[in-house]
Copies of this chain bind each other. A is one copy, B any other.
Amino acid sequence: MTMDTGAPKFRRRKADRPAEIVQAALSVFAEKGFAAAKLEDIARRAGVSKGAIYLYFETKEDIFRAVVGQAIAPNIGAVKAMAAAHPGPLAGLLRGVTAHIADVVSHTPLGGVLKMVVGEARNFPEIARVWHDELVSQALGAMAEAIEAAQARGEVKAGDPRTYALQLISPLLVAVLWRETFVPVGARPFDLPAVMAQHIDTLLCGLLTEGARE
Protein backbone atom coordinates (compact mmCIF):
# COMPACT_ATOMS: atom_id res chain seq x y z
CA MET A 1 0.00 0.00 0.00
CA THR A 2 2.49 2.59 -1.12
CA MET A 3 0.72 5.91 -0.92
CA ASP A 4 0.85 7.58 -4.31
CA THR A 5 1.89 11.01 -3.15
CA GLY A 6 3.07 12.62 -6.38
CA ALA A 7 1.39 12.51 -9.76
CA PRO A 8 2.65 9.53 -11.71
CA LYS A 9 5.05 10.39 -14.43
CA PHE A 10 3.05 8.66 -17.11
CA ARG A 11 -0.62 8.10 -17.43
CA ARG A 12 -1.99 5.90 -20.16
CA ARG A 13 -5.17 7.28 -21.59
CA LYS A 14 -5.12 6.29 -25.19
CA ALA A 15 -8.73 7.10 -25.85
CA ASP A 16 -8.60 10.72 -24.67
CA ARG A 17 -5.27 11.77 -26.10
CA PRO A 18 -6.24 12.72 -29.66
CA ALA A 19 -8.98 15.10 -28.58
CA GLU A 20 -6.71 16.68 -25.97
CA ILE A 21 -3.96 17.16 -28.51
CA VAL A 22 -6.35 18.67 -31.05
CA GLN A 23 -7.66 21.11 -28.49
CA ALA A 24 -4.17 22.15 -27.44
CA ALA A 25 -3.17 22.46 -31.09
CA LEU A 26 -6.16 24.68 -31.79
CA SER A 27 -5.14 27.18 -29.17
CA VAL A 28 -1.53 27.28 -30.34
CA PHE A 29 -2.38 27.46 -34.05
CA ALA A 30 -4.98 30.17 -33.45
CA GLU A 31 -2.41 32.16 -31.53
CA LYS A 32 0.68 31.76 -33.70
CA GLY A 33 -0.47 30.55 -37.11
CA PHE A 34 0.55 27.22 -38.57
CA ALA A 35 4.22 27.83 -39.37
CA ALA A 36 5.11 29.63 -36.15
CA ALA A 37 3.37 27.07 -33.93
CA LYS A 38 5.83 24.70 -32.24
CA LEU A 39 4.99 21.08 -31.57
CA GLU A 40 6.72 21.43 -28.21
CA ASP A 41 4.17 24.07 -27.22
CA ILE A 42 1.25 21.95 -28.37
CA ALA A 43 2.64 19.00 -26.44
CA ARG A 44 3.15 21.05 -23.30
CA ARG A 45 -0.41 22.42 -23.39
CA ALA A 46 -1.75 18.91 -23.93
CA GLY A 47 0.27 17.75 -20.91
CA VAL A 48 2.23 15.31 -23.02
CA SER A 49 5.66 14.93 -24.56
CA LYS A 50 6.31 15.81 -28.17
CA GLY A 51 6.99 12.19 -29.00
CA ALA A 52 3.55 11.15 -27.76
CA ILE A 53 1.89 13.33 -30.40
CA TYR A 54 3.42 11.11 -33.05
CA LEU A 55 1.65 8.09 -31.61
CA TYR A 56 -1.63 9.66 -32.73
CA PHE A 57 -0.77 11.91 -35.69
CA GLU A 58 1.49 11.43 -38.67
CA THR A 59 2.65 15.01 -39.22
CA LYS A 60 2.09 18.57 -38.08
CA GLU A 61 -0.14 19.13 -41.10
CA ASP A 62 -2.23 16.18 -39.97
CA ILE A 63 -2.90 17.86 -36.66
CA PHE A 64 -3.82 21.07 -38.45
CA ARG A 65 -6.27 19.24 -40.68
CA ALA A 66 -7.82 17.56 -37.65
CA VAL A 67 -8.22 20.92 -35.91
CA VAL A 68 -9.88 22.60 -38.85
CA GLY A 69 -11.99 19.58 -39.76
CA GLN A 70 -13.25 19.15 -36.21
CA ALA A 71 -14.60 22.70 -36.26
CA ILE A 72 -16.64 22.02 -39.38
CA ALA A 73 -18.46 18.82 -38.50
CA PRO A 74 -20.87 20.00 -35.79
CA ASN A 75 -21.89 23.03 -37.86
CA ILE A 76 -22.63 21.36 -41.16
CA GLY A 77 -26.27 21.56 -41.92
CA ALA A 78 -27.19 23.73 -38.94
CA VAL A 79 -28.15 26.74 -41.06
CA LYS A 80 -29.95 24.53 -43.57
CA ALA A 81 -31.94 22.93 -40.79
CA MET A 82 -32.94 26.31 -39.38
CA ALA A 83 -34.04 27.51 -42.80
CA ALA A 84 -36.20 24.42 -43.14
CA ALA A 85 -37.67 25.00 -39.68
CA HIS A 86 -38.69 28.62 -40.43
CA PRO A 87 -41.09 28.59 -43.36
CA GLY A 88 -42.84 31.72 -42.12
CA PRO A 89 -41.90 35.39 -42.45
CA LEU A 90 -38.22 36.06 -43.05
CA ALA A 91 -37.58 38.13 -39.92
CA GLY A 92 -37.91 35.10 -37.66
CA LEU A 93 -35.44 33.09 -39.72
CA LEU A 94 -32.91 35.92 -39.78
CA ARG A 95 -33.07 36.37 -36.04
CA GLY A 96 -32.81 32.63 -35.48
CA VAL A 97 -29.84 32.11 -37.78
CA THR A 98 -27.83 35.09 -36.62
CA ALA A 99 -28.53 34.34 -32.96
CA HIS A 100 -27.37 30.79 -33.52
CA ILE A 101 -24.17 31.80 -35.31
CA ALA A 102 -23.45 34.49 -32.74
CA ASP A 103 -23.87 31.91 -30.00
CA VAL A 104 -21.61 29.34 -31.66
CA VAL A 105 -18.97 31.94 -32.40
CA SER A 106 -19.05 33.26 -28.83
CA HIS A 107 -18.88 29.93 -27.04
CA THR A 108 -16.61 27.91 -29.30
CA PRO A 109 -13.22 28.65 -30.86
CA LEU A 110 -14.79 28.89 -34.32
CA GLY A 111 -13.59 32.47 -34.56
CA GLY A 112 -9.99 31.42 -34.09
CA VAL A 113 -10.41 28.64 -36.63
CA LEU A 114 -11.89 31.07 -39.13
CA LYS A 115 -8.86 33.28 -38.72
CA MET A 116 -6.62 30.29 -39.34
CA VAL A 117 -8.50 29.26 -42.47
CA VAL A 118 -8.23 32.76 -43.88
CA GLY A 119 -4.57 33.09 -42.93
CA GLU A 120 -3.43 29.70 -44.22
CA ALA A 121 -5.71 29.35 -47.24
CA ARG A 122 -2.85 29.88 -49.69
CA ASN A 123 -0.63 27.33 -47.92
CA PHE A 124 -3.42 24.74 -47.53
CA PRO A 125 -5.78 25.21 -50.46
CA GLU A 126 -7.52 21.90 -49.82
CA ILE A 127 -8.54 23.11 -46.36
CA ALA A 128 -9.95 26.31 -47.80
CA ARG A 129 -11.80 24.23 -50.37
CA VAL A 130 -13.33 21.92 -47.78
CA TRP A 131 -14.39 24.86 -45.63
CA HIS A 132 -15.93 26.58 -48.60
CA ASP A 133 -17.63 23.57 -50.12
CA GLU A 134 -18.94 21.98 -46.95
CA LEU A 135 -19.61 24.91 -44.65
CA VAL A 136 -19.43 28.49 -45.87
CA SER A 137 -20.90 28.06 -49.32
CA GLN A 138 -23.64 25.74 -48.01
CA ALA A 139 -24.70 28.14 -45.28
CA LEU A 140 -24.62 31.13 -47.62
CA GLY A 141 -26.58 29.19 -50.22
CA ALA A 142 -29.23 28.13 -47.72
CA MET A 143 -29.72 31.73 -46.63
CA ALA A 144 -29.85 32.91 -50.22
CA GLU A 145 -32.54 30.32 -51.00
CA ALA A 146 -34.64 31.37 -48.04
CA ILE A 147 -34.37 34.99 -49.14
CA GLU A 148 -35.25 34.06 -52.69
CA ALA A 149 -38.34 32.26 -51.43
CA ALA A 150 -39.31 35.39 -49.50
CA GLN A 151 -38.87 37.40 -52.67
CA ALA A 152 -41.18 34.98 -54.48
CA ARG A 153 -43.76 35.58 -51.74
CA GLY A 154 -43.43 39.30 -52.39
CA GLU A 155 -42.01 39.82 -48.92
CA VAL A 156 -38.57 41.03 -49.90
CA LYS A 157 -37.45 43.61 -52.42
CA ALA A 158 -35.73 42.70 -55.68
CA GLY A 159 -31.98 42.23 -55.46
CA ASP A 160 -29.35 39.52 -55.55
CA PRO A 161 -30.22 37.04 -52.78
CA ARG A 162 -26.63 35.84 -52.39
CA THR A 163 -25.55 39.43 -51.80
CA TYR A 164 -28.35 39.85 -49.27
CA ALA A 165 -27.03 36.77 -47.45
CA LEU A 166 -23.54 38.28 -47.45
CA GLN A 167 -24.85 41.56 -46.08
CA LEU A 168 -26.63 39.67 -43.33
CA ILE A 169 -23.70 37.76 -41.88
CA SER A 170 -20.83 40.16 -42.60
CA PRO A 171 -21.03 42.25 -39.40
CA LEU A 172 -20.93 39.05 -37.39
CA LEU A 173 -17.74 37.90 -39.08
CA VAL A 174 -16.07 41.29 -38.89
CA ALA A 175 -16.98 41.62 -35.23
CA VAL A 176 -15.34 38.26 -34.56
CA LEU A 177 -12.19 39.20 -36.46
CA TRP A 178 -12.21 42.49 -34.58
CA ARG A 179 -12.29 40.61 -31.33
CA GLU A 180 -9.43 38.32 -32.41
CA THR A 181 -7.28 41.07 -33.90
CA PHE A 182 -7.80 44.44 -32.29
CA VAL A 183 -9.38 43.88 -28.89
CA PRO A 184 -6.15 42.32 -27.52
CA VAL A 185 -4.34 45.58 -28.31
CA GLY A 186 -6.89 47.79 -26.60
CA ALA A 187 -9.70 48.27 -29.09
CA ARG A 188 -13.26 48.73 -27.83
CA PRO A 189 -15.03 45.42 -28.35
CA PHE A 190 -18.39 45.00 -30.05
CA ASP A 191 -21.23 43.28 -28.26
CA LEU A 192 -22.26 40.56 -30.67
CA PRO A 193 -25.93 40.17 -29.73
CA ALA A 194 -26.43 43.94 -29.66
CA VAL A 195 -24.75 44.38 -33.04
CA MET A 196 -26.88 41.69 -34.63
CA ALA A 197 -30.12 42.97 -33.12
CA GLN A 198 -29.49 46.44 -34.53
CA HIS A 199 -28.25 45.03 -37.81
CA ILE A 200 -31.38 43.00 -38.46
CA ASP A 201 -33.61 45.94 -37.56
CA THR A 202 -31.67 48.09 -39.98
CA LEU A 203 -31.75 45.55 -42.77
CA LEU A 204 -35.47 45.01 -42.41
CA CYS A 205 -36.58 48.61 -41.94
CA GLY A 206 -33.73 50.78 -43.17
CA LEU A 207 -31.44 53.29 -41.58
CA LEU A 208 -33.33 56.46 -42.45
CA THR A 209 -36.20 58.01 -40.56
CA GLU A 210 -39.57 58.26 -42.28
CA GLY A 211 -39.02 61.91 -42.97
CA ALA A 212 -35.62 61.43 -44.58
CA ARG A 213 -36.77 58.84 -47.14
CA GLU A 214 -36.38 60.12 -50.66
Contacts and interface: CB of A to CB of B under 8 A. Distances in A.
A155 B208 contact: yes
B154 A212 contact: yes
* Shortest 4 CB-CB contacts between residues of A and residues of B: A119-B119, A206-B206, A35-B35, A170-B170
A136 to B, nearest CB: 7
B205 A213 contact: yes
A128 B185 contact: yes
A5 interface: no
Contact of A118 (B36, B159, B177, B203): B177
Q: Is the interface of A mostly helix, strand, loop or mixed?
A: helix
A100 interface: no
A122 interface: yes
Contacts of A209: 154-157
A159 B196 CA distance: 12
Interface residues of A, number: 69
B181 A163 contact: no
A202 B214 CA distance: 13
A190 interface: yes
Contact of A160 (B30, B182, B194): B194
B167 A199 contact: yes
12 contacts: A32-B122, A32-B123, A118-B177, A119-B119, A125-B184, A129-B185, A132-B182, A156-B207, A160-B198, A166-B195, A170-B171, A174-B174
A128 B182 contact: yes
Contact of A128 (B128, B162, B181, B202): B181
Contact of A115 (B119, B156, B188): B119
Interface string A166-201: 110111011101001110111110100011001101
A22 to B, nearest CB: 19
A198 B155 contact: no
Contact of A156 (B90, B160, B212): B212
